[in-house]
Structure 1
Amino acid sequence: MTTRTVQAHPHAIAAREERRAEAYAMGINEAFIAEMVDRFYASVREDAMLGPIFDERIDDWPKHLGQMNRFWQTILLSAGNFTGNPMMKHLAIPTIGQEHFQQWLRLFYQTLDDIAATPEAVRHVGAKARMIAESLLTGIWVHRDRSDPLEKKVELPDV
């Protein structure tokens, strides 16, 4: 049996490199992402609403922070080094709802305001975070709650 290596198409590689260059120009790089993840999750752990939810589920914070670094590197730098299923992790939390995602975004935006080098970085990263929150919330409504998402109104803060 022979193994085949799949090579990315040159256009895909060029697009990935272009997205990475645009992120770097906004001040979004590996060091920024590491600081963002560390500061954000420190605020989450101290938060009265979100802290207990995370503390119940995460017993190895360095491992979780590493996973979140890889997640955000993949989202923001097209790194492709994240493996996991965020939707399944969130579906497994029986009490999570829109108010939790609202608070998550408020803390996330505050972290961005504190550390982002440029207003463009705040807008870009904040928009990605909101898109992720909206996607997870909609998935929870559909898969866990068996609700029609068109009958609900997503009310999440914008950056």
Structure 2
Amino acid sequence: MSHHDERTFVMVKPDGVQRGLVGEIIGRLEERGLKLAAAKFMQIDQDLAEQHYGEHEDKPFFDELVAFITSGPVMAMVWEGADATRQVRQMMGTTDPKEAQPGTIRGDLGLDLGQNVIHGSDHEDEGANEREIELFFDEDELVDYERADEPWVYEDA
């Protein structure tokens, strides 16, 4: 991992997979200059879902979150780049797609709060990235490489 890179966890949720948006979302992240470090197309089981949403365990919508994220396959990924977590959050748009700006992933591709296409680690939650990456990926599944366009993405590459 180069010195200006941060890793962040991103997931295309079951609705995004069912609607055929995986390629569109990966394309947007690549076009921004972010680098794919790991990807896993998978079905999340109950146990993993409960761990993933652990911070919401006491909230009334917890069971709905778990039911939704286990309702179909997801594309779990790790992306790298300068300030990657904040960059991805900005690209995703606000949690409620009806309020998300046009041009953002949710603003362009989503309409419903419960089915908002994508999950990304929270840049304001210290350690969210590490926790989520470790939950979905073993260390040896993270690929470290240099992308050929890095000198054209970063001034100091």
TM range (shorter): 0.3 to 0.5
Task: Please tell me whether Structure 1 or Structure 2 has the larger radius of gyration of its CA atoms.
Answer: 1
TM value normalised by structure 1: 0.36
Task: Specify which structure has the higher proportion of strand.
Answer: 2
Higher RCO structure, 1 or 2 (CA under 8 Å, sep 6+): 2
Task: Specify which structure has the higher proportion of helix.
Answer: 1
